[in-house]
């Protein structure tokens, strides 16, 4: 079983794949990697930002330091389901992720009332929650968009820091952000069949690099939230400011 970490750092690269390239790659990867126990599963994230989308506009400019804040659920939650409150930072290409786990009902209440009622047994979780409080209150963050996708994830038994994920049907919505209502939405990038993310702390295993070279698969920049903002939210925001 693969345990989800609450704190980690790594480098992440994205690759846009056709279904044919995906099938060929998975066939070759199966000699080395194992699919995690979740199989094909749905990930739902609600991204928070300032009223004028300051965080994602800053991120799009490719600064040395950038951060995002989101609520993430693995599957459609009910009020008792544990979800993640997550700060994701990127510094000089290295991704740092810190998150705490809380029931969805408590997370929703926090963002509605800004009152902290979480209780953590771990001092590390308490510290992360304080960071979240500071970020949310300082920037007056509010829920902006839901992004969901269906994922298959693979891990390399000889190196737990090396993971490969495949995301399908990346979709978004800007209304009904209470995710207990489901994960439906419009496609973010209909031209992309599969988005692969390679997550590694160090260099790729040699066999994986050789497979990528053989199949002529090359990295490509793609941020789900940034693409959603640039394609569907930017023009609406400009219109609202003009009006």
pLDDT at 5: 56
Q: In the prediction, which pLDDT does 103 show?
A: 93
Look up the CATH architecture of domain 11-233: Alpha-Beta Barrel (3.20)
* Strand 65-74 relative to strand 41-49, pairing: antiparallel
**What pTM did the predictor assign?**
0.89
- Tokens standing for 101? 């786990």
φ, ψ for residue 125 (rounded to 5)? -60, -40
For 29, which DSSP code? H
Strand-strand pairing, 82-91 and 65-74: antiparallel
Q: Output the pLDDT for position 111.
A: 77
**Domain locations in the chain?**
11-233
Q: Are 49 and 55 in contact (CB under 8 A)?
A: yes
User: What residues have CB less than 8 Å from 173, skipping those under 6 apart?
Assistant: 145, 146, 184, 185, 186
pLDDT tens for the chain, residues 1 to 243: 444 555 566 889 999 999 999 999 999 999 999 999 999 999 999 999 999 999 999 999 988 899 999 999 999 999 999 999 999 998 888 888 889 999 999 888 877 776 555 555 556 677 888 888 888 888 999 999 999 999 999 999 999 889 999 999 999 999 999 999 999 999 999 999 999 999 998 899 999 999 999 999 999 999 999 999 999 998 655 434 433
Residues in the chain: 243
Distance CA 169, CA 40 (A): 12
Residue 73: closest CA among 165, 159, 180, 213: 180
What's the pLDDT at 8? 60
């Amino acid at each position: 079983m693969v345990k989800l970490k609450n704190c980690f750092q790594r480098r992440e690269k994205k690759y846009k794949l056709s279904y044919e390239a995906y099938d060929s790659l998975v066939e070759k990867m199966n000699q080395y990697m194992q699919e995690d126990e979740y199989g094909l599963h749905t990930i739902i994230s609600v991204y928070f930002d300032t009223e004028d989308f300051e965080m994602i506009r800053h991120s799009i400019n490719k600064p040395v330091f950038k951060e995002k804040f989101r609520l993430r659920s693995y599957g459609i939650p009910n009020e008792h389901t544990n979800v993640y409150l997550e700060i994701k930072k990127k510094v000089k290409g290295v991704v740092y992720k810190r998150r705490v786990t809380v029931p969805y009902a408590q997370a929703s209440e926090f963002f509605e009332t800004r009152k902290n009622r979480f209780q953590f047994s771990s001092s590390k979780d308490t510290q992360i929650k304080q960071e979240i409080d500071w970020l949310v209150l300082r920037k007056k963050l509010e829920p902006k968009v839901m992004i969901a996708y269906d994922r298959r994830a693979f891990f390399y038994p000889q190196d737990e820091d090396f993971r490969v994920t495949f995301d399908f049907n990346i979709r978004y919505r800007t209304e009904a952000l209470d995710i207990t209502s489901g994960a439906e939405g419009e496609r973010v990038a209909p031209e992309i069949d599969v988005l692969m993310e390679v997550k590694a702390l160090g260099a790729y295993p040699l066999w994986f690099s050789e497979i990528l070279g053989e199949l002529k698969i090359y990295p490509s920049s793609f941020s789900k939230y940034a693409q959603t903002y640039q394609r569907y939210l930017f023009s609406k925001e400009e219109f609202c400011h003009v009006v």
